Amino acid sequence: MYSREELALVPRTALDLARGCGNPTGFANIHDGETVVDFGCGGGIDVILAAKKAGVRGKVIGIDFSPQMIEKAGRTVSAAGLEDRIELYAADISATRLSSNHADVIISNCVINLCPDKDAVYNEAFRVLRPGGRIAISDIVLTEAIFPEFRARLRSTWSGGLGGTVFEEDYWRTVGNAGFTDIKIVAKYVFSPEELKAIALCPGREFTPPVSTADIAAVTGKVASVKFTAVKG
Protein backbone atom coordinates (compact mmCIF):
# COMPACT_ATOMS: atom_id res chain seq x y z
CA MET A 1 0.00 0.00 0.00
CA TYR A 2 2.93 2.32 0.66
CA SER A 3 6.15 2.69 -1.27
CA ARG A 4 9.54 2.33 0.39
CA GLU A 5 10.06 6.03 -0.12
CA GLU A 6 6.82 6.82 1.72
CA LEU A 7 7.55 4.43 4.57
CA ALA A 8 10.95 6.04 5.03
CA LEU A 9 9.18 9.33 5.84
CA VAL A 10 7.12 7.85 8.68
CA PRO A 11 8.37 7.21 12.24
CA ARG A 12 8.33 3.59 13.40
CA THR A 13 5.63 4.31 15.99
CA ALA A 14 3.09 5.12 13.26
CA LEU A 15 3.99 2.06 11.20
CA ASP A 16 3.51 -0.22 14.22
CA LEU A 17 -0.01 1.15 14.75
CA ALA A 18 -1.11 1.18 11.09
CA ARG A 19 -4.25 -0.88 10.41
CA GLY A 20 -5.40 0.44 7.05
CA CYS A 21 -6.71 -1.11 3.84
CA GLY A 22 -5.13 1.35 1.42
CA ASN A 23 -3.06 4.48 1.03
CA PRO A 24 -5.42 7.43 0.47
CA THR A 25 -2.58 9.93 0.19
CA GLY A 26 -1.43 7.99 -2.87
CA PHE A 27 -4.50 8.93 -4.91
CA ALA A 28 -5.85 12.07 -3.18
CA ASN A 29 -3.79 14.29 -5.51
CA ILE A 30 -2.88 16.59 -2.62
CA HIS A 31 -1.42 19.90 -3.78
CA ASP A 32 0.97 22.30 -2.10
CA GLY A 33 -0.86 24.65 0.26
CA GLU A 34 -4.04 22.60 0.63
CA THR A 35 -5.87 21.84 3.87
CA VAL A 36 -6.34 18.11 4.43
CA VAL A 37 -8.46 16.39 7.08
CA ASP A 38 -7.90 12.73 7.99
CA PHE A 39 -11.07 11.04 9.29
CA GLY A 40 -9.74 8.46 11.75
CA CYS A 41 -6.03 9.28 11.78
CA GLY A 42 -4.97 6.47 14.11
CA GLY A 43 -1.27 6.49 14.85
CA GLY A 44 -0.58 9.14 12.23
CA ILE A 45 0.87 7.46 9.14
CA ASP A 46 -1.43 9.24 6.68
CA VAL A 47 -1.30 12.68 8.33
CA ILE A 48 2.48 12.54 8.04
CA LEU A 49 2.36 11.67 4.33
CA ALA A 50 -0.37 14.25 3.69
CA ALA A 51 1.69 16.95 5.39
CA LYS A 52 4.65 16.12 3.18
CA LYS A 53 2.49 16.59 0.09
CA ALA A 54 0.69 19.74 1.33
CA GLY A 55 4.04 21.40 2.06
CA VAL A 56 4.92 24.22 4.41
CA ARG A 57 1.97 26.32 3.20
CA GLY A 58 -0.49 23.49 3.77
CA LYS A 59 -2.27 22.25 6.86
CA VAL A 60 -3.31 18.76 7.96
CA ILE A 61 -5.89 17.95 10.63
CA GLY A 62 -6.08 14.47 12.10
CA ILE A 63 -9.26 13.40 13.89
CA ASP A 64 -9.72 10.20 15.86
CA PHE A 65 -12.41 9.01 18.25
CA SER A 66 -9.81 7.65 20.68
CA PRO A 67 -7.87 10.15 22.84
CA GLN A 68 -5.23 7.45 23.29
CA MET A 69 -4.65 7.27 19.54
CA ILE A 70 -4.47 11.05 19.33
CA GLU A 71 -1.79 10.97 22.02
CA LYS A 72 0.18 8.36 20.06
CA ALA A 73 -0.27 10.29 16.83
CA GLY A 74 1.04 13.37 18.61
CA ARG A 75 4.23 11.52 19.44
CA THR A 76 4.53 10.44 15.83
CA VAL A 77 4.05 13.99 14.56
CA SER A 78 6.67 15.27 17.00
CA ALA A 79 9.12 12.57 15.93
CA ALA A 80 8.61 13.62 12.31
CA GLY A 81 9.15 17.29 13.20
CA LEU A 82 5.81 18.34 11.72
CA GLU A 83 4.07 19.94 14.72
CA ASP A 84 3.77 23.23 12.84
CA ARG A 85 1.81 21.64 9.97
CA ILE A 86 -0.42 19.06 11.71
CA GLU A 87 -3.22 19.52 14.24
CA LEU A 88 -4.79 16.58 16.06
CA TYR A 89 -8.22 16.37 17.71
CA ALA A 90 -10.13 13.67 19.58
CA ALA A 91 -13.64 13.77 18.10
CA ASP A 92 -16.34 11.71 16.43
CA ILE A 93 -15.86 11.92 12.66
CA SER A 94 -19.64 12.24 12.28
CA ALA A 95 -19.49 15.46 14.33
CA THR A 96 -16.00 16.92 14.01
CA ARG A 97 -16.78 20.45 15.23
CA LEU A 98 -14.72 21.81 12.33
CA SER A 99 -16.16 24.83 10.58
CA SER A 100 -18.06 24.43 7.31
CA ASN A 101 -16.19 24.84 4.01
CA HIS A 102 -12.93 24.29 5.88
CA ALA A 103 -10.94 21.70 3.92
CA ASP A 104 -9.80 21.03 0.37
CA VAL A 105 -9.40 17.28 0.86
CA ILE A 106 -10.71 14.66 3.26
CA ILE A 107 -8.94 11.31 3.45
CA SER A 108 -9.81 8.19 5.42
CA ASN A 109 -8.21 4.77 5.65
CA CYS A 110 -10.34 1.78 6.69
CA VAL A 111 -12.27 3.69 9.35
CA ILE A 112 -15.72 4.55 8.02
CA ASN A 113 -16.58 0.84 7.81
CA LEU A 114 -16.36 0.83 11.62
CA CYS A 115 -18.86 3.68 12.03
CA PRO A 116 -22.48 2.75 12.80
CA ASP A 117 -23.90 5.83 11.06
CA LYS A 118 -22.14 6.15 7.71
CA ASP A 119 -24.73 8.65 6.47
CA ALA A 120 -23.74 11.03 9.26
CA VAL A 121 -20.04 10.62 8.46
CA TYR A 122 -20.45 11.46 4.78
CA ASN A 123 -22.83 14.32 5.53
CA GLU A 124 -20.17 15.72 7.86
CA ALA A 125 -17.46 15.29 5.23
CA PHE A 126 -19.59 17.18 2.73
CA ARG A 127 -20.17 20.00 5.21
CA VAL A 128 -16.49 20.36 6.12
CA LEU A 129 -15.27 20.45 2.51
CA ARG A 130 -15.12 23.62 0.49
CA PRO A 131 -17.11 23.71 -2.78
CA GLY A 132 -15.07 21.73 -5.29
CA GLY A 133 -13.30 19.87 -2.49
CA ARG A 134 -12.82 16.12 -2.70
CA ILE A 135 -12.64 12.94 -0.69
CA ALA A 136 -10.13 10.13 -1.16
CA ILE A 137 -11.24 7.08 0.78
CA SER A 138 -10.00 3.54 1.38
CA ASP A 139 -12.69 1.38 2.95
CA ILE A 140 -14.23 -2.10 3.13
CA VAL A 141 -17.52 -3.19 1.53
CA LEU A 142 -19.54 -6.34 0.94
CA THR A 143 -19.68 -7.25 -2.74
CA GLU A 144 -22.49 -9.76 -2.15
CA ALA A 145 -25.29 -10.03 0.37
CA ILE A 146 -24.72 -12.30 3.37
CA PHE A 147 -27.15 -14.17 5.60
CA PRO A 148 -28.76 -12.00 8.31
CA GLU A 149 -27.68 -14.34 11.11
CA PHE A 150 -24.09 -14.17 9.88
CA ARG A 151 -24.25 -10.37 9.77
CA ALA A 152 -25.52 -10.42 13.36
CA ARG A 153 -22.50 -12.45 14.43
CA LEU A 154 -20.14 -10.04 12.68
CA ARG A 155 -21.79 -7.05 14.35
CA SER A 156 -21.57 -8.69 17.76
CA THR A 157 -17.83 -7.97 17.51
CA TRP A 158 -18.12 -4.54 15.91
CA SER A 159 -14.49 -3.63 16.71
CA GLY A 160 -13.42 -6.23 14.17
CA GLY A 161 -13.05 -4.76 10.70
CA LEU A 162 -15.91 -6.83 9.27
CA GLY A 163 -18.52 -5.80 11.83
CA GLY A 164 -19.53 -2.56 10.18
CA THR A 165 -19.26 -3.47 6.51
CA VAL A 166 -22.28 -2.80 4.31
CA PHE A 167 -23.36 -3.91 0.86
CA GLU A 168 -21.47 -2.02 -1.84
CA GLU A 169 -24.57 -0.57 -3.52
CA ASP A 170 -25.76 0.81 -0.18
CA TYR A 171 -22.33 2.35 0.38
CA TRP A 172 -22.36 4.24 -2.92
CA ARG A 173 -25.92 5.35 -2.25
CA THR A 174 -24.78 6.85 1.06
CA VAL A 175 -21.94 8.76 -0.62
CA GLY A 176 -24.26 10.09 -3.31
CA ASN A 177 -27.05 11.00 -0.90
CA ALA A 178 -24.60 13.18 1.03
CA GLY A 179 -24.22 15.28 -2.13
CA PHE A 180 -20.98 13.94 -3.59
CA THR A 181 -20.65 13.58 -7.35
CA ASP A 182 -18.13 12.18 -9.81
CA ILE A 183 -17.53 9.04 -7.73
CA LYS A 184 -14.56 7.21 -9.24
CA ILE A 185 -13.29 3.81 -8.08
CA VAL A 186 -9.50 3.89 -8.16
CA ALA A 187 -8.97 0.26 -7.18
CA LYS A 188 -10.85 -2.71 -5.79
CA TYR A 189 -9.37 -5.78 -4.13
CA VAL A 190 -11.17 -8.90 -2.89
CA PHE A 191 -9.69 -10.20 0.36
CA SER A 192 -8.29 -13.72 0.75
CA PRO A 193 -9.43 -15.98 3.62
CA GLU A 194 -6.21 -15.24 5.51
CA GLU A 195 -6.72 -11.49 5.14
CA LEU A 196 -10.36 -11.77 6.23
CA LYS A 197 -9.31 -13.57 9.39
CA ALA A 198 -6.79 -10.85 10.18
CA ILE A 199 -9.38 -8.12 9.55
CA ALA A 200 -11.97 -9.84 11.72
CA LEU A 201 -9.46 -10.04 14.59
CA CYS A 202 -8.40 -6.39 14.31
CA PRO A 203 -7.34 -4.66 16.55
CA GLY A 204 -6.23 -7.81 18.41
CA ARG A 205 -7.26 -11.04 20.10
CA GLU A 206 -7.59 -9.27 23.45
CA PHE A 207 -10.42 -7.18 21.98
CA THR A 208 -12.04 -9.43 19.38
CA PRO A 209 -12.82 -13.15 19.81
CA PRO A 210 -11.69 -15.62 17.13
CA VAL A 211 -13.90 -16.04 14.08
CA SER A 212 -14.86 -19.58 13.13
CA THR A 213 -13.47 -21.21 10.01
CA ALA A 214 -17.04 -21.68 8.78
CA ASP A 215 -17.77 -17.96 9.07
CA ILE A 216 -14.61 -17.03 7.20
CA ALA A 217 -15.53 -19.51 4.46
CA ALA A 218 -19.04 -18.02 4.25
CA VAL A 219 -17.72 -14.51 3.60
CA THR A 220 -14.76 -15.43 1.36
CA GLY A 221 -15.03 -13.71 -2.00
CA LYS A 222 -17.67 -11.31 -0.70
CA VAL A 223 -15.54 -8.64 1.00
CA ALA A 224 -13.35 -6.11 -0.79
CA SER A 225 -11.36 -3.00 -0.14
CA VAL A 226 -12.32 -0.09 -2.35
CA LYS A 227 -10.33 3.03 -3.02
CA PHE A 228 -12.31 5.90 -4.49
CA THR A 229 -12.58 9.63 -4.93
CA ALA A 230 -15.59 11.94 -5.12
CA VAL A 231 -16.20 15.67 -5.37
CA LYS A 232 -18.32 18.22 -3.51
CA GLY A 233 -20.03 20.04 -6.35
**pLDDT on residue 22:** 76
**pLDDT on residue 82:** 94
Determine the average pLDDT of the residues in 94-122: 95
* Cβ pair 150, 212 in contact under 8 A: no
| Nearest alpha carbon to residue 103 among 127, 82, 85, 121 | 127
**pLDDT on residue 159:** 54
**pLDDT on residue 121:** 98
Instruction: Read off the pLDDT band of 158 (50, 70, 90).
Output: low
**pLDDT on residue 74:** 93
The fourth-level CATH superfamily of domain 4-141+166-190+225-232 is: Vaccinia Virus protein VP39 (3.40.50.150)
**pLDDT on residue 214:** 83
* Cβ pair 48, 42 in contact under 8 A: no
What mean pLDDT is reported for the chain? 88
Instruction: Read off the pLDDT band of 200 (50, 70, 90).
Output: confident
**pLDDT on residue 146:** 77
**What pLDDT, in 10s, does the model give residues 159-194?**
556 778 889 999 999 999 999 999 999 999 999 998
Per domain, the residue ranges of the chain are 4-141+166-190+225-232
**Range name among 89-98, 126-135, 146-155 with the lowest pLDDT average:** 146-155
**Range name among 119-128, 149-158, 164-173, 213-222 with the lowest pLDDT average:** 149-158
Of residues 153 and 142, more confidently modeled: 142
Of residues 83 and 153, more confidently modeled: 83
Kindly tell me if the per-residue pLDDT of 20 is higher than 70. Answer: no
